[in-house]
Amino acid sequence: MRFFKNFQCQGFTKSEFQVTLILGLSTATGNCCSSTNLGRERAHWFSYAILAFIIPFTSSISSNVLRCLNTLFGLNINKRRFYTFMASNKIPWHNLWAALWHLIPDPLSDGRLMIALDDFINPKTGRNIFGCSHIFDHAAKDNQSKYPWAQNVVLIGLLKVIKGRWACLPLSQRFYLPQKAINAKSDNMRVAGKVVSFQTKLQQAVEMVIQVAQHFAGVDIIIVCDSWFGNNGLFKPLRTKLGNFVHLLSRLRSNTVLYSIPKIGSSKKPGRPKKYGSRLGSCAEMAAAFMAYASTYHVFLYGKYREVNAYSQIVMLKTLKCPVRVVWVFRKTQWIAIFSTDLKLSVEQIIEYYGARWKIESGFKEIKQDIGSSKSQTRNAQAVINHINFSIMAATIIWIYGSRLENIPERRHKVKGRNSFAFSDLRHIIAKSALSDDFHAVCNQDNKLPRKSFLEALLRMVG
């Protein structure tokens, strides 16, 4: 942490500044390893391994990471020792993630910690890959299997505006292991030879959110998720553990029944007071009734300000047993209903925050395709866990790096209607900095590699 307070006054050039920033992010996490000789070596390798995952050459399968470390960074790591490191159970991921959370600048949005929650699948080929089972894919195309052989990962990420655009910074993940496969005592459901205990996706999500909430103590938290996660199975245990600091922002199903706020009478009657008022109707019925009363709002949505027709009302929700603010958003022929348990949020904020939830879907693409987690060929349980953590942590460091840049990065590949920079632009900037001559000057490495150009290094990498 002290690194970020001091590095601006050391007389670095702009390129050296970027290199030092990269090393500071990776080294700050690598310092969580033990102080033994092996621990210091793991910390050194860890810092460069993170950079190898970040640099956009090929997919970050373990063999490519090794080639990057040896070819581009000149570490000359023994192959056997490298694969032992990548499958080591000595990497302190819990401490590493906590250290990385400390490095996120200004994590709050409007005074709240915005956490996106969702899950994704990683299709694989091979029978003995840890965490793989036949998982239902609701987004499968007509020519794809509805139940691919894949890993299922539950992930939470921080929603944050970076240089004028929303981004999702992954914070934690869990492999969802189906109960049927665990009960069958399948070999690919074991960690260190032991069968793990079953947890539902909601239980895993609650565990991760509580861990993050304890780190960022004393702030309001809003969980932004889709309708599958947005229910009392998530909300009740979080409220029990964290109290009224945690709120839920999600989408309502069309058949959800809504009730009015109960009126508090002046005269006392026997029995407990009413919890719910009169039945207002289903979400779809109320949408049809309120469409004519919708107002136009100016909302920052999907990268620019847009005119949105919406109607809002505070109602009681029996599924959560509490009052919520429901916002119906109307388009020409379609509508959606979004609710928030935080009644202080405005209509514009609710719409903008739920629109920002899509960034976690973009994050899945960044982790799986851009960084290359889906191409990983690891099978051993600890190697699989390490690789997904490397991939997700690399994505988080890239966004932290982007948020700490002085200027807004320029978009390299122009797309009509999109002016903001992309995830790939940040990786390109990091690659140029990490492979510049200043990289070794800042690292104080003795074994400099003779390279004539960036292209030559790239050819050595993919050759």
Where are the domains positioned within the chain? 2-223+360-411+419-443, 251-344
Radius of gyration of the chain (CA): 24
To the nearest 10 degrees (0 to 180), the angle between helices 37-54 and 381-404 is 70
Mean pLDDT across the chain: 85
Q: What is the dihedral of CA 432, 411, 54, 66, to 10 degrees?
A: -60
Return the pLDDT at 349. 96
Tokens of 101: 């959370």
Q: How far is CA 245 from the centre of its chain?
A: 21
What does the pLDDT average to over 184-193? Answer: 88
Nearest 5 degrees, angle CA 27-CA 36-CA 170? 35
Could you tell me if residue 246 is left (phi over 0), alpha (psi between -120 and 50 degrees) or otherwise beta? beta
- Of the candidates 221, 236, 215, 135, the one whose C-alpha atom is nearest the C-alpha of residue 179 is 135
3-state secondary structure of 462: helix
pTM: 0.88
**Which sign, positive or negative, has the C-alpha torsion 59, 61, 63, 68?**
positive
For residue 165, the surrounding DSSP H or E stretch is strand 165-176
Neighbour tally for 327: CB within 10 Å: 26
Closest CA relative to residue 412, chosen from 400, 429, 434? 429
Please give the pLDDT value at position 265: 67
Q: Residue type for 140, please?
A: A
pLDDT at 40: 76
Residue percentage of the chain with pLDDT more than 70: 85
Q: For position 11, what pLDDT does the model report?
A: 37
Could you give the CA distance from residue 76 to residue 58 in angstroms, rounded to a whole number? 20
Where do we find the tokens 């996106």? 116
For residue 91, name the pLDDT band (cuts at 50, 70, 90): confident
Q: Is the pLDDT of residue 263 over 90?
A: no
- Count Cβ atoms below 10 Å from residue 24 Cβ, excluding itself: 21
pLDDT of residue 12: 37
